[in-house]
């Protein structure tokens, strides 16, 4: 990493959304084929035409990226960094997948050295893919949270995360209690929340792995710290939903379990949210909760087809995520492609503007960070990526036939990977120059 005393000017194509394109239409974007982004003190100072910004800032250090696209860094709203090592594990559905692959690996994260090595690997893989912010589950071990935040701090990244609490239906090595989950989460929150660019997220894994007492304790902690987010899983697979029904027979539905224990509200992040009832949808909307779509995971584990068009049309807040390691790629490009494919399977092709917005501003808004990251706008933190829209021969020949920006971007969405990420800027510093 390099530090720069002077202001920095990135030249390339720029693209700014003027509103949520799902509601305002795909035209709610400003595209400048000869644009520039001025960075000063780690924030975006100006966005405008290259010529004008160059003339106005003769002292700025210039990085000319030609006709590559300058975009906000991707925001991955649901990740399990401790599952980096078990990505692409074959053949199981959710509950068996957790027991066979996930829990044995997560049991290793009480070892601070293992936790640190995996946190660093995960964040470096993310940055290489153009992801500058992620919201991650850790494991039950407080050391795993320290490792994540330490690695984020060393890279200057805005990262959110928390200790994954479980006090039943998990191996001995991965169980805490209602009291220790509360105490350890609170201690971690006090240690990390608001330090540098870090945010603590209260994290009950999901209803089946917590007793009512633990859910209650974490609901109480959230009530004491309403400025924190809370993340969990909701209605991912049909077998899981049946299990929740048998564990909580008095609850009206899966979401009601969370609501009974104070775990539903604005600032609540609900991963997957595929098989929702009408009542659950209405409550999620009323309370201002956010749903996190994890499309590569949903096809990899065989979970189902998220109703993006219907949920957006009714006004839900939705973020996009890889769900590493249930998800099968670190790339938010690949994740956008999977969201497109799931849209097609539901009969609705999602416009590339919708996909790009979801991976940047949409996820940022879902995490309550819409004013800080995810946009090309003065005052926003300078987490930026430079995307080569011709990164492989097949993408290049397809993009060359494009008549407009979105046609030029779509081949990269569908076929792109880390080769498309020419540079990643984190808080106004170049992380990985690859020119």
Least Å distance, CB 178 to ligand GUN, is 18
Measured CA to CA, the distance from residue 6 to residue 279 in angstroms comes to 54
Least Å distance, CB 206 to ligand GUN, is 4
Q: Which of 48, 56, 61 is nearest to 12 (CA)?
A: 48
Q: Which does 114 bind (CB under 5 to 8 A by kind): ligand GUN, Zn ion, none?
A: none
Q: Which of 64, 63, 67, 74 is nearest to 399 (CA)?
A: 67
Q: Which does 232 bind (CB under 5 to 8 A by kind): ligand GUN, Zn ion, none?
A: none
Nearer to ligand GUN, 14 or 298 (CB): 298
Least Å distance, CB 363 to ligand GUN, is 17
Least Å distance, CB 144 to ligand GUN, is 13
Q: Which does 39 bind (CB under 5 to 8 A by kind): ligand GUN, Zn ion, none?
A: none
Least Å distance, CB 78 to Zn ion, is 5
The tokens for 96 are 């068996």
CB-closest chain residue to Zn ion? 271
Residue 148: CB partners within 8 Å, gap ≥ 6?
A: 81, 115, 119, 136, 138, 159, 161
Least Å distance, CB 80 to ligand GUN, is 5
Q: Which does 102 bind (CB under 5 to 8 A by kind): ligand GUN, Zn ion, none?
A: ligand GUN
CB-closest chain residue to ligand GUN? 326
Sequence-distant contacts of 284-287: CB under 8 A, at least 24 apart: 284/255, 284/316, 285/314, 285/315, 285/316
Least Å distance, CB 385 to ligand GUN, is 26
Nearer to ligand GUN, 326 or 343 (CB): 326
Nearer to Zn ion, 33 or 304 (CB): 304
Please answer whether residues 188 and 200 qualify as being in contact, where contact means their C-beta atoms are separated by less than 8 angstroms.
Answer: yes
Written as one string, the DSSP assignment of 172-188 is GGG---HHHHHHHHHHH
Q: Which does 236 bind (CB under 5 to 8 A by kind): ligand GUN, Zn ion, none?
A: ligand GUN
Measured CA to CA, the distance from residue 433 to residue 435 in angstroms comes to 6
Nearer to Zn ion, 32 or 323 (CB): 323
Tallying the residues shown for the chain, one arrives at 435
Bridge partners of residue 294, in order along the sequence:
none
Measured CA to CA, the distance from residue 281 to residue 275 in angstroms comes to 10
Q: Which does 297 bind (CB under 5 to 8 A by kind): ligand GUN, Zn ion, none?
A: ligand GUN
Please answer whether residues 290 and 261 qualify as being in contact, where contact means their C-beta atoms are separated by less than 8 angstroms.
Answer: no
Least Å distance, CB 170 to ligand GUN, is 10
Nearer to ligand GUN, 80 or 275 (CB): 80
Element (H, E) at 268: strand 268-272
Nearer to ligand GUN, 132 or 297 (CB): 297
Binding residues for ligand GUN (CB under 6 A): 80, 94, 98, 102, 205-206, 233, 236, 297, 301, 323, 326
Binding residues for Zn ion (CB under 5 A): 271, 323
Nearer to Zn ion, 135 or 189 (CB): 135
Largest Cα–Cα distance of the chain, in whole Å?
68
Please answer whether residues 118 and 263 qualify as being in contact, where contact means their C-beta atoms are separated by less than 8 angstroms.
Answer: no
Q: Which does 387 bind (CB under 5 to 8 A by kind): Zn ion, ligand GUN, none?
A: none
Three-class SS of residue 158? strand
Nearer to Zn ion, 72 or 162 (CB): 162
Report, in angstroms and rounded to the nearest whole number, the Rg of the chain calculated over CA atoms.
Answer: 21
């Amino acid at each position: 990493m390099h530090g720069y005393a002077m202001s920095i000017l990135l030249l390339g194509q720029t693209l700014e959304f003027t509103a949520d394109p799902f509601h305002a239409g795909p035209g709610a974007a400003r595209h400048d084929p000869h644009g520039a982004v001025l960075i000063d003190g780690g924030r975006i100072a100006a966005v405008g035409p290259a010529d004008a910004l160059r003339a106005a800032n003769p002292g700025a250090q210039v990085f000319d990226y030609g006709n590559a696209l300058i975009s906000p860094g991707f925001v991955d709203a649901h990740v399990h960094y401790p599952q980096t090592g078990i990505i692409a594990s074959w053949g199981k559905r959710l509950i068996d997948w957790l027991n066979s692959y996930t829990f044995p690996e997560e049991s290793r994260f009480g070892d601070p050295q293992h936790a640190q090595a995996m946190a660093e690997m995960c964040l470096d893989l993310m940055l290489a893919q153009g992801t500058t912010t992620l919201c991650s589950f850790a494991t039950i071990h407080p050391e795993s949270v320290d490792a994540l935040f330490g690695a984020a701090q060393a890279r200057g990244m805005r990262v959110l995360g928390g200790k994954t609490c479980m006090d039943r239906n998990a191996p001995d090595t991965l169980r805490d209690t209602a009291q220790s989950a509360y105490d350890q989460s609170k201690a971690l929150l006090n240690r990390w929340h608001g330090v540098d660019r870090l945010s603590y997220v209260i994290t009950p894994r999901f209803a089946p792995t917590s007793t009512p007492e633990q859910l209650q304790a974490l609901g109480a902690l959230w009530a004491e710290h309403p400025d924190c987010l809370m993340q969990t899983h909701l209605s991912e697979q049909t077998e899981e939903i049946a299990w929740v029904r048998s564990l909580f027979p008095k609850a009206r539905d899966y979401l009601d379990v969370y609501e009974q224990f104070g775990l539903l509200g604005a600032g609540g992040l609900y991963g997957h949210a595929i098989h929702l009832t009408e009542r659950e949808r209405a409550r999620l909307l009323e309370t201002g909760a956010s749903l996190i779509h994890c499309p590569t995971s949903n096809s990899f584990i065989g979970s189902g087809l998220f109703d993006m068009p219907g949920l957006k049309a009714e006004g839900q807040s939705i973020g996009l995520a890889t769900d590493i390691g249930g998800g099968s790629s670190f790339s938010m490009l690949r994740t956008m492609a999977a969201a497109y494919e799931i849209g097609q399977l539901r009969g609705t092709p999602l416009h590339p503007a919708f996909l790009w917005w979801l991976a940047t501003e949409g996820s940022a808004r879902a995490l309550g960070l819409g004013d800080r990251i995810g946009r090309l706008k003065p005052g926003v933190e300078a987490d930026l990526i430079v995307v080569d829209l011709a990164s492989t021969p097949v993408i290049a020949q397809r993009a060359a036939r494009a008549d407009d920006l979105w046609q030029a971007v779509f081949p990269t969405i569908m076929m792109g990977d880390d080769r498309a990420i020419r540079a990643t800027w984190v808080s106004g510093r170049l992380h990985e120059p690859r020119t």
